[in-house]
Structure 1
Amino acid sequence: MSVLVVDNTTPASMPVYVSYEAQNGDGYVAAIHSQTDAILATIPVGKQPGSICISPDGSTVYVVNEGDHTVSIIDTNTNAVTATLNVGRNPKAVMVTPDNTKAYVANYDDKSITIIDNSSKTVIKTVSVGSGSPFALAACPNSWYMYAACREGGTNDYVSAIAVDSDEVNPFAHGGWNLSFSTAHNPLVVGPDGHLVAALDINNQLRRINGPDDIGPGNSVTWLNQTVSGVYLNNGLFLATKSFTEDVIRTASNLAIDASGAVTGEQKPDIPSYKGQNKIRVSPDQSRVCITITANDDQFAGLQVISIDSQSLDISSAFVRLPVANDLAITYDGTKAYVAEIEYVHPVNLVTPSSSNSIHLGNSSRVKGIVGAYRTQS
């Protein structure tokens, strides 16, 4: 196994980076000081910017520009664009491998993945993922692959595993599994040991990954059906959000699938939540899991903050009401979240928990992506 290692030396004062679109379609990235909430820099990027990520060492930010089919690369030391690379049409997601070597861009309209050398900031190659359109990415430090969720339509959606070492594409769960992904959520969860990949949707699939050349058997778990996104913590806890109409979070401990396809693990009690579950993110130290809640007829918008005791694994939950709650980013020290609204970003103290004054990015602007620390899901 080629074990990938995340660099945890990035300082807690690392800015939060927000991609947003002006009314005329021009794109920008705002660098926000994660302690003072001041805007440190406004960085011009391409047309209609979207998904944004940061490298594990904290030195580089990538943002896809959906309008001109490029990716802008920002040096975090200077907060300036150092390269703009052509990728495929309508790029929807970007992520750097946990070992900091490559960046991957999911090109939705071209049904391909562009692979970038993170050192030289040049395109290595673009690989086809088949008949589906990739829209979300996931990996883990012990993974042999970068995984892409691919939308084909109906119940024919599937996952492509792109080998980090060889760039070989290995589609699986294609046909027969009745997968139907929501492109509003990242349905992929990779277990901390690299052997489990969960694809969550109305149905679901757990896949056993045996090694770099061996994608093993799959199986489905009834009680995970109707989940749409999730996280798997190093302590063995697995949390999955439900559809917009549900008000609980599914949980399990030590979820796994063995070489024969048998699923093991303990289903744990649901965590009470709220209708309108949207994005789920975990803090770098894995002490907190946060879920944005979209406003609906039964519920105010806000942020659900789930705190996990490192020793007892006891779980507590709090809710911070906000005007709007879309995506979110959590800072490196795990004490603060920034929630994307429309033309605002709202800081939330996760220790208290409580909100403070929102940060305005400009009239008629539209926040498209936000990142505060390296994460293994786009």
Structure 2
Amino acid sequence: MASESKSTTAGTNGKKRKQRYISHNKAPKKKGLYPIHPGLEGFFITCDGGRERQAANESLNLIDSFYEELVHRGDSGAKLGQTPKIPLNKKTKFTYSDSSDEDDKDDDPKDGEDDKDKQGIHADGDANDVSSANTTVDPCEQEGNVDDKEKNSACQKSQAVEGDQLPLKKQCLGTDTLKCEHAIHDKVEKSVDKLIEEELEELGDKSKRRFLNLDSGCNGVVFVQMRKRDGDPSPTEIVQHMMTSVASTRKHMSRFMLRVLPIEVTCYASEDEITRAIKPLIAQHFPVETQTAHKFAVLYDARANTGIDRMKIVNAVAKSVPAPHKVDLNSPDKNIVVQIVKTMCLIGVVEKYKELAKYNLRQLTLAKA
């Protein structure tokens, strides 16, 4: 009997099998992406069913590129690689006119000049040209009032001063430009190194990434979270810039992405939670004290949730907008997007929804008929 029990417990190779059981006192390990939770900002992206992974990778690259373009679009000023403008010493050269022109001027009866004046002009022509080029008079060319010895001493002093000053100016200019170039070059190298280090840290650590893909829990839906920092544009500005640029260029930028909607508020899909969480968003886009009242409409859509009443949510969102603004379903200025995904509600505000093909990248890139 003992031999039979040993044969049943032992395997073919004579080794015992490991006991496999489920531990009910331990929480299961989470695998994959984190789900959507309240208090997020990001982008709601639709795609073809089964292409969520490809669409997520594509959306991260595309959103990051438009974010960088929007951030660096307003930068102005001098470039770092350019050297400062320095005034240079330029020499002016004078060209003498032809003899034919001078003869015509001498023969002109309107001048009313004597022969003496003409001779004085021709004789002193060189001196006048030199004096026009140099504001100071050369002591070597002065006549009278100075003896020969004084003339020689003055000429030597002026030549010595000119010979000493010009090289010094050139040397100073050369050293200044070299110092500026070295300083600018060092700043550029340091800034580039710091930027590369920051990007590597963001790529390595998920907590430091600006854009992160989260699990939506629905087929054909991708959610990209944005960790907004001080001075960063909002998801609404990024999506608006993306759609306007795609509509103007009509260039194919995505293969798997369909519709991109900005999300500024996430909360649980209940009437009380939505009315509480939407207040700061409404105050931002629909202020009470305004000279121009906006017309708005509510765009509602639900996925994997059939137990919620559509009209209750729509009425709760519409009632939260203050009185100067009115509802207009035909031609609204702004649209309030409400997306229900399982037990979560995603809310955002978009402009020119119908004009921009309902924010569908594939429809925007199609050629006009």
Q: Greater relative contact order (Cα 8 A, min sep 6): structure 1 or 2? A: 2
Structure with more strand by fraction: 1
TM-score by length of 2: 0.21
